[in-house]
Structure 1
Amino acid sequence: MNERIELLLRILCDTIPSQVDAVYLFAQTEPNQESVFATARGLLHRKSVERIWISDCAAKSGYVGAPACREAMVRSGIPQGTIEEVPMEPTEILHTQIEAHAVVRFAKARRLRSLIVTSAPFHQERAFMAVVTAALRECPPLKLYSLPGKARNWDEVVTHSQGILTGTRADLIESEQQRIDKYTAQGDLAARTEVLRYLRRRDAAD
């Protein structure tokens, strides 16, 4: 089977346990944040998680910042008491790798056994691969699950990638695939084969 296709499908259509310790919502630009909020609300409604994690960063790199993000989450129907901030400051910029390593360190410090990773659908594969990469290096026992944000209008023009890349959500799919290939070649992301191996090992242990 084509590993590229298999991994993408497994990440977009992962099997999620009925109970997971927390969900981390990757930082989004404002037009994309409702996508991840909707997924968080669904998890809370199903009582699958009790904790919603976000970055503690101030507004930067396209992210609205923790205070504004928290306020928007509460307005969208997420209870204030479920939201926790993952320490990432001080940092001049915020990007996927910084978030991935910070959330794994936070999960390890909290002794979490399981964590859901959620981002905008076009970013979900790279976001999940980044967190798996961090876990393999820093906390191999952590069970990670992938649940993308709710799909929104694919033809809407939005900003992404530290707030500097603009295009339709559909346009951003190709740039995300290019980044995966680039960062895998650089060693910043685990190879697709390695991520698939992680998923098979995770599922075999369940």
Structure 2
Amino acid sequence: MRRLLTLFLMIGGLMAASLEGANAQTDPENTLVLELKDGKVLIEMLPEVAPNHVARIKELTREGFYDGIVFHRVMEGFMAQSGDPTGTGSGGSGVNIGAEFSNEPFSRGTAGMARAQHPDSADSQFFITFADASFLNGQYTVWGRVVDGMEYVDNIKKAPAGRQSGAVDDPDKIVSMKVLADVQ
């Protein structure tokens, strides 16, 4: 029994040390804490890739804009989209941001900006990919990557199978979104 307890304590210590090491490499000013119903998600923002989008996301986050906004479009195996204060998919903050397309790939956990037909129409709506979405490469702005808590993103309520629009009935919401530097 004592050996088992010692083993659990050692494993717990190793896990804590691992988390401290990960946090030591995190830039608090360029990390978001996205709180979902099941837990917290850390998103590393990429200001070197999309400086204007990162600046706008941080500005809106610090205003509390994203708190309580729903994931209005969630498609199994593709992505979860949020950032529309109306919850319809047609709203935003009222400030468009010019495209900052890059060579950054859309892989699992990529945070990208949603937009209308015009490339320079991104506003406040963003999405996180559940899987590889390389067909979006170079056509949408990548501004961040989930570095911890992707399992909570995976748990976001999805649209019913076969619903092409991805519209979600009684959708999950962002509990809160903060810049890590503001909560430390």
TM-score normalised to structure 1 length: 0.30
Ranked by relative contact order (alpha carbons within 8 Å, sequence separation 6 or more), the top structure is 2
Q: Which has the higher helix share?
A: 1
Q: Which of the pair has more CA radius of gyration?
A: 2
Q: Which has the higher strand share?
A: 2
